[in-house]
Amino acid sequence: MSMMSLASSLHCEAVLSVRQLNVRFGGQQILENIHLDLFREQVLTLIGPNGSGKSTLVKTLVGAVKPTSGSVTIAPNQRIGYVPQRLHLDPTLPMTVQRFINLPRRHSRQEVDSALEDAGAETLRQANMSELSGGQFQRVLLARALLVKPDILILDEATQGLDHQGTAAFYRHIDSVRRTYGCAVLMVSHDLHVVMQTSDHVLCLNRCVCCQGKPEHVASTQDYRSLFGDQAAQTLALYRHQPQETAHAG
Ligand SMILES: Nc1ncnc2c1ncn2[C@@H]1O[C@H](COP(=O)(O)OP(=O)(O)OP(=O)(O)O)[C@@H](O)[C@H]1O
């Protein structure tokens, strides 16, 4: 096979594709003409200001929101693991991590242990869900998503509320999960520094896709700078001055 045909066959292997997607709530257009491809083992991050439609797009991908028009196509036999932005549990209801993770379907002890370990939550099996820290809770949600042995892992602002250290640690788990499971990762994040260091592809959303590409490309666009202001200037400076050293910094 020539290099050219090899490259084109690899590029056809999208595990998830979105075409001409529009979502309206009432009379309001929330997502407009979204076009997106996610490839095997790729880390694609959605960024965008508050209210730009990131969560709505993720919910559309996992089937929780129905598009007004357009399509979401998942390649055959692809299992999706989903880590939601928030999950409210009744704090008065005692429930161990082990019990929570076995809902709605029971898994073998070995499957549970292995998912907890892959998510960095191996010490939490007997802990009570209501006593977990924010970072521990998110790792348990990640473990639950890993139980399906995902080909596609989708995370909606999974590090919301975590401090720098917790955020950096969580992304390290995501990175190792991607390698262990060989899965594609699509996530929403506000942590621009980390996004720019950990993503293969960044898609900047503001109702429609306003720019996308490799992190260094997106960081240098005017759209990105006008949406994220000072924070954008900092991430760009990071590329110019110390691209290697800060990998995985929080
Ligand atoms: N179920 C709904 N019904 C009506 N409007 C909705 C619904 N869900 C979201 N919206 C609106 O859609 C817009 C996009 O919301 P969305 O949560 O997708 O944005 P986001 O980019 O994820 O924001 P954030 O960064 O604040 O989480 C907002 O104006 C929101 O009020």
Protein residue with least CA distance to atom 1, ligand 1: 25
Residue 242 DSSP class: -
Helix (H) or strand (E) segment spanning residue 59: helix 54-61
**186 lies in some domain:** yes
**138 lies in some domain:** yes
Is residue 150 within 8 Å of residue 115, measured between CB atoms? Answer: no
Helix (H) or strand (E) segment spanning residue 235: helix 222-241
- Full residue range of the structural domain in which residue 157 is found: 87-190
**125 lies in some domain:** yes
Ligand 1: nearest atom to the Cα of 53: 18
**148 lies in some domain:** yes
Show the ligand 1 pocket: residues with CB < 6 angstroms: 25, 30, 48, 50-56
Ligand 1: nearest atom to the Cα of 57: 18
Q: Ligand 1 mean position to 247 CA, how many Å?
A: 31
Ligand 1: nearest atom to the Cα of 190: 25
Q: What is the pLDDT along the chain (250 residues), one digit of tens a residue?
A: 343 434 344 445 899 999 999 999 999 999 999 999 999 999 999 999 999 999 999 999 999 999 999 999 999 999 999 998 878 888 788 899 999 999 888 999 999 999 999 999 999 999 999 999 888 999 999 999 999 999 999 999 888 888 888 888 888 889 999 999 999 999 999 888 888 888 999 999 999 999 999 998 998 888 888 888 877 767 666 665 554 444 444 3
Helix, strand or coil, per DSSP, at residue 220: coil
**What is the number of structural domains in the chain?**
1
